Amino acid sequence: MSIFNKVKRFFNKNPAVVRYELFRDVGSGIYAWNGKLFRSELLRSTSRPFASAVSKLQAKHLRITVKANEDGTTKTVIQENPDLYLKTLLEEPNPLMCAQQFQEKISFQYFLNNNAFIYINRDSNGYAMELYPIDATSVNPVWDTQMNLFLRFYMANGKVCTYSYDDIIHLRKDFADNDIFGSDNARILQPLMDVVAATDQSVINAIKNSGIIKWLLKFNRNRTPEDLKSDSKAFANNFLNTTESGDGSVGVAATDANSEAKQIDPKDYVPNALIMKQNTERVYSYFNTNAKIVNSTWDEDEWNAYYEAVIEPFAIQLSQEFTRKIFNRRERGFGNKIVFDATNLACASITTKLAFVAMVDRGAMSPNEWRKIMNQSPIDGGDVYLRRKDTGTVKDVQGGGE
């Protein structure tokens, strides 16, 4: 069932909802900048590394339980993707996109608007069956008389959809001056983007002006308009046409006593390279990135710094919001949670990756986990944890054990 039919069915089954008096928080809605942010080459290149990195996160359903042993101790049991329907949901959120495309789309929305919205399409039992990114031009909060929160979305195609906040995964950034939404980027970036646009326009105008009149021919006697036109054309053909150089006259202009040729040098303002670089750096600083991240010329330490400052907080928010909205409190109490694994984002040199083999010897990693870091396929029996024979527990060493 499509998301629009889902909303229609919700209100048809609950007709009293549409008769409630709605209290609208006027002026507190958030608005996308008419798509202009994403149309900017600078902002698109700035946002692409973030979206590409988030699209590589692997969503997993974990069920973590604690079981008692016969000797009175406890052990933690971790099950990965125990429910098939959730595994399928995380791999194929909806019929239109796979997990990588889904995560990339919400990453762009989050990066540019500081808000991203995902609609949860549930079945009759309340289980999540589909996840749809909501691509809206604006959204406003509305409440019914029982103070239940709904979000009203105004779509680009003119449709207006209202969803319960319980069915929305809301991701937000710069969450400071509003109770519901993250602060939008439009007002902050408007002056800076005006400067960038003016800079680009000045370069374009300078290029266009390079094709205007470059020479002024001054004749010392009266000429008819036809003669002026023909003489000007002859001058251009003889002395300014670089495609015909058979007579060897290209580059040298000659006049007689009846005419005078004067070259015109247009004075166009073009911002120097330093100003253009500073504008770019201001955009990079606003989004906590730099030229090396954008151009993929970073080293191991630079990428790790970018990951910890920008990507990891979003990955944590993804995990917590997906867990909170997909599972109810009872299900979370049984250890169910959604995590976004960053194994695919592990940035390390070959030397660092090879050093992880010490973790395999000590049972901290399985051979297959190490092979995954090395971008190798798993092997049969590689999920068994190993331990070197010359190591033991602290208790064994103190007790004289091997």
Last residue of some domain: 347, 371, 390? 347
pLDDT per position as a tens digit, 98-124: 999 999 999 999 998 899 999 999 999
* Stronger pLDDT, 151 or 237, i.e. the higher one: 151
Structural domain contains residue 354: yes
State percent of the chain over pLDDT 90: 35
Same domain, 15 and 108: yes
Q: Collapsing DSSP states into helix, strand and coil, what is residue 239?
A: helix
Structural domain contains residue 235: no
Same domain, 341 and 379: no
What tokens appear for 165 in the block? 């906040």
Q: pLDDT value at position 7?
A: 46
Check whether 400 has a pLDDT greater than 60.
Answer: no
Q: In 3D, which of 340, 322, 314 has the Cα closest to residue 115? A: 314
Q: Collapsing DSSP states into helix, strand and coil, what is residue 394?
A: helix
Check whether 36 has a pLDDT greater than 80.
Answer: no
Tell me the β-bridge partners of 132.
Answer: 119
pLDDT per position as a tens digit, 372-393: 777 677 788 788 888 776 655 5
Structural domain contains residue 204: no
Same domain, 142 and 34: yes
Structural domain contains residue 222: no
What is the model's pTM?
0.71
Q: pLDDT value at position 331?
A: 94
Q: Please report how the helices 186-209 and 273-286 are oriented relative to each other, as an axis angle in degrees rounded to 10.
A: 160
Radius of gyration (C-alpha) of the chain in whole angstroms: 32
Same domain, 311 and 373: no
pLDDT per position as a tens digit, 282-317: 889 999 999 999 999 998 889 989 999 999 999 999
* Stronger pLDDT, 393 or 69, i.e. the higher one: 69
Same domain, 124 and 166: yes
Q: pLDDT value at position 25?
A: 39
Q: What is the average pLDDT value for the chain, to the nearest integer? A: 77
Last residue of some domain: 331, 347, 363? 347
Q: How many whole angstroms separate alpha carbon 75 and alpha carbon 260?
A: 98
Listed range (240-244, 246-250, 258-262, 281-285) with the worst mean pLDDT:
246-250
Most confident of 10-19, 268-277, 351-360: 351-360
Number of domains composing the chain: 2
Q: pLDDT value at position 363?
A: 80
Same domain, 382 and 340: no
Q: How many whole angstroms separate alpha carbon 366 and alpha carbon 64?
A: 19
Q: How many whole angstroms separate alpha carbon 3 and alpha carbon 153?
A: 12
Q: pLDDT value at position 23?
A: 37
CB-based contact 141:168 (threshold 8 Å)? no
Structural domain contains residue 270: no
Q: pLDDT value at position 204?
A: 67
Q: Which domain holds residue 387?
A: 348-402
Q: How many whole angstroms separate alpha carbon 117 and alpha carbon 79?
A: 29
pLDDT per position as a tens digit, 20-33: 233 333 344 544 44
User: 27: alpha, beta or left, given left = phi > 0 and alpha = psi -120 to 50?
Assistant: left
Q: In 3D, which of 370, 306, 333, 371 has the Cα closest to residue 66? A: 333
Same domain, 23 and 102: yes
Structural domain contains residue 162: yes
pLDDT per position as a tens digit, 170-209: 999 999 888 899 988 877 877 777 777 677 666 666 666 6
Check whether 267 has a pLDDT greater than 70.
Answer: no
What tokens appear for 282 in the block? 């201001």
Same domain, 316 and 373: no
* Stronger pLDDT, 245 or 215, i.e. the higher one: 215
Structural domain contains residue 255: no
